[in-house]
Amino acid sequence: MKNGVYHQIENTATLEFYTDVIETPSETCETPHFHKNFEILAVIRGECRCEIGEMAYDIKEGEMLFVVPFQIHAFCPAPDSLVRRVCLHDHLIWSMSSTLEKKKPQTPVFSPAPHITRFFLVQMAEMFGNARFCTARLPAERRMTVKGCLYIIAGEFLQKAELIPCDRADTLMTEVVQYIANNYKNDISLRHIATEKGYSYHYLSRTFNRIFNISFKSMLNQYRMEHAHFLLQDTQLPIAEIAFESGFQSIRSLDHVCRQCYGRSPKEMRKAHYV
Is the residue at 1 inside a domain?
A: no
pLDDT, tens digit, 9 for 90 and up, residues 128-166: 999 999 998 899 999 999 999 999 999 999 999 999 998
Same domain? For 159 and 172 the reply is no
- Cα 149 to Cα 120: distance, rounded to the nearest angstrom: 6
Q: Count up the domains in the chain and report the number.
A: 2
- Same domain (yes/no): 268, 228: yes
Helix/strand/coil for 106: coil
pLDDT-derived band at 273 (thresholds 50, 70, 90) equals low
At 26-61, the pLDDT tens digits run 555 778 888 888 999 999 999 999 999 889 999 999
* CA nearest neighbour of 174 among 141, 212, 147, 148: 212
Give the closest residue to 55 by CA, choosing from 4, 107, 104: 107
Instruction: Indicate whether 155 and 195 sit together in one domain.
Output: no
If asked whether residues 217 and 125 sit together in one domain, one would say no
**Pairing outcome for strands 6-7 and 33-34:** parallel
Residues 23 and 158 in one domain: yes
Q: What pLDDT does 275 receive?
A: 45
Per residue in 159-197, pLDDT tens? 999 999 988 888 888 889 888 988 999 999 999 999 988
Residue of 229, 249, 179, 241 lying closest to 208 (CA atoms) = 179
